[in-house]
Amino acid sequence: MDPRRLLVLLAVEAEGSLTGAATRLGMTQQAVSQQVSRLEAEAGTTLLVRQGRGSALTEAGRVLAERAEQLADVLRAAEEDLAALSGLVRGDVALAAFPTASAVLLPRALAALADRAPGLSVRLTEAEPPEAEAAVRAGRVSLALVFRYEGDPEPVPGDLLRLPLGRHPVHAVVPAGERAPGHLADLADRPWIAGCPRCRAHLVRCAAAAGFTPDVRLETDDHVAVQHLVAARLGVALLPVWALRASSAPGVLHGPVGGLDARVVELLLRPESRRVPAVRALAEELRRGVTELDGAS
């Protein structure tokens, strides 16, 4: 079997459709379909079946995809070894990052990196921490910027390196003209606006420690929308300093309060990736950028 066709099959499995695989590989859908058909002829069995608007692997297809994943790992390791031997900061590095990092950290960090290493190209995918971590494991990105809260359970050690970059506070956001709360418990009887599942879990956990259950009336991941909803006196909210730095809406007051954990920013990568000069250069620039941002918080 042609190993290149195995990698095409792996892309179909990852994307769930011929169209998605074509986009990922920079091929036409017809070319992907032809590669899969030829692989099926070589294997002597059906590897792919239509499922809704996408495609699903048969049992035989999944067996081959597992082997294709091993092949992809070998090729990726070979590329990283060659990059490490060359010692040159060049090529492409794929990065996944959560939205507020994309807004306040990456513009400055990537611009500085472009000056230091003009031969390096960074490809950015925006993703929340769980999806970003999965992307590193699947080899779709080399690095992932993720966050968690200080009071969260410690991450279970696994196959990825988890490098802490910094921490920044979370603020309470209330309508302008109100007295700033001193503690989270001061907002116990207010309606709440919550964000992503991880952020909502942080609110619920901190509120429980403060002796109340938040009455969540509205939910949105958009930190600009959150501020406008607060300004309209529809509720109060919690937002990390980075989100408030990315955009501050009129009509709200925000500040630190007792009873809240800070947000911790971390970098995830595969251990072998640290040998690659391009990955190290990007990681160092991100570390420098987070230090500067948190120092200004």
| Cα–Cα distance measured from residue 64 to residue 118, given in angstroms and rounded to the nearest whole number | 39
Q: What pLDDT is stored for residue 77 in this prediction?
A: 63
Contact assessment for residue 270 and residue 141, using Cβ atoms and an 8 Å cutoff: no
What does each of the 297 residues of the chain score in pLDDT, given as a tens digit? 677 777 887 888 888 888 888 887 788 888 888 888 888 888 888 888 887 778 888 888 788 877 777 776 666 666 656 555 455 456 788 999 999 999 999 999 999 988 888 888 899 999 999 999 988 988 889 999 999 999 888 887 677 899 999 999 999 999 999 999 999 999 999 999 998 888 999 999 999 999 999 999 999 989 999 999 999 999 999 999 999 999 888 999 999 999 999 999 999 998 888 778 888 889 999 999 999 888 766
Q: What pLDDT is stored for residue 85 in this prediction?
A: 47
For the entire predicted model, the pTM comes to 0.69
What is the dihedral angle through the alpha carbons of 253, 103, 125, 27, rounded to the nearest 10 degrees?
A: 130
Residue 252 token pair? 């709200």
- How many residues can be counted in the chain? 297
What angle do the packed helices 59-86 and 29-43 form, to 10 degrees? 110
Q: What pLDDT is stored for residue 196 in this prediction?
A: 86
